[in-house]
Amino acid sequence: MAIDCAFSTNEYRFRYRAAGIIVDGDEVLLAGADFNGDYTYYSVGGAVHAGELAEDACVREIFEETGIKFEIDRLAVIHECIYDGFYFDTVGKTCHEISFYYMIKPKGTKTLKVTKSVNSSGRIENMHWIKLSELNKLPVYPKFLHAYLMHPCRELIHIVTDNRSKKDKNN
CATH (domain of 84) = 3.90.79.10
* Residues sharing a CB contact under 8 Å with residue 107, sequence separation 6 or more, in sequence order: 24, 68, 70
Residue 97 belongs to what domain range?
6-160
Between CA 43 and CA 78 the distance in angstroms is 13
Q: Is residue 19 part of a domain?
A: yes
Q: Is residue 87 part of a domain?
A: yes
pLDDT tier for residue 11 given thresholds of 50, 70 and 90: very high
Q: Is residue 40 part of a domain?
A: yes
Q: Is residue 167 part of a domain?
A: no
Summarize pLDDT for 21-61 with one digit per residue, the tens.
Answer: 999 999 999 999 876 667 789 999 999 999 999 999 999 99
Summarize pLDDT for 104-145 with one digit per residue, the tens.
Answer: 999 988 999 888 877 766 778 899 999 999 999 999 989 899
- Indicate the helix (H) or strand (E) that contains 141: strand 140-141
Q: Is residue 23 part of a domain?
A: yes
Query: Into how many domains does the chain fold?
Result: 1
